Copies of this chain bind each other. A is one copy, B any other.
Amino acid sequence: MFSPAVQKLIDELSKLPGIGPKTAQRLTFHLLRLSAEDALPLAQALIDVKETVRFCNRCFNLTEQELCPVCLDLSRDQTSICVVEEPGDVISIERTHEYRGLYHVLGGALSPLDGIGPQNLHLAELFERVRSEDIQEVIVATNPNMAGEATALYIVEELRPLISAGSLRVTRPAAGLPMGGDLEYADEVTLGRALTGRREL
C-alpha cells in the first residue's frame, strides 16, 4: 500500500526493540512531515555512531578509541571489577561517585528462553581478566531481576575455586528498600530481601 521507500523505513523502524508496526508507521509519518534539515541529522547521527563508537577491547564499555576512558584512567583501582549488563549501567554507577574501580560490560544477561547463553555474553573475557589481571574483588552489578540474578549465580559458580582459595571476593550490591520509599508500598520480594539483608546500626 505504501510506496517502497516508505514501507522500507517502516520495516526498519519496526526492527527496533519495543517498536511495533503501528508505532513505526507513526514515527515514519512524523519523519515525513519534518523538513529534510530536521530529519536527516538522525540518519547522520546513526552513521556517525557506527563509524566512531566501538567497544573497549578490555571491558566492552563504549569508547571512540581502543580502550574506554575508565580503562585508560590508571588512577582508578585496578584490583576491582564491577560487572554490569549494559554500557548505560556504567554511566549509572559512575553518577553515584561511590566506585573507583574497573568495569566489565557483559552485553546482556543470561536468558535461555531468549536464546542468550554464556557464549553470547562477554563472560569468557571476564573470567580471563579475573585470572590474568590482579583482581581482588568482582562486584556483580547485573540487574536485580530473573536474568540478572541467574547471570550473577553463573559468575559466582565459575569463580568458586578462586573464592575458595581466598584470593578473590565476589560481591553483589545490596537489594532492599529504595531510598525515599515506603514500607507500605514495597513489594514482598523487595521487603523480604531488605529483611534478610538487614545490617547492624
Interface residues of A (CB under 8 A from B): 1-3, 5-6, 8-9, 11-13, 15-19, 23, 25-33, 36, 39-53, 62-64, 86-88, 91, 94-95, 107
Residue pair A1, B49 in contact (C-beta under 8 Å): no
> CA separation between A94 and B2, bound complex, in Å?
11
User: Does B29 contact A18, Cβ atoms closer than 8 Å?
Assistant: no
Copies of this chain, whole number: 2
A-B contact pairs, 14 of them (CB 8 A): A2-B91, A3-B64, A5-B49, A8-B45, A9-B42, A9-B45, A12-B41, A12-B45, A17-B30, A19-B27, A29-B87, A33-B107, A36-B50, A43-B46
CB distance from A44 to the nearest CB of B (A): 8
Interface residues of A, dominant DSSP: helix
* B23 adjacent to A18 (CB under 8 Å): yes
* Contacting residues, chain B, for A95 (C-beta < 8 A): 1
CA distance A47 to B49 in the complex (A): 16
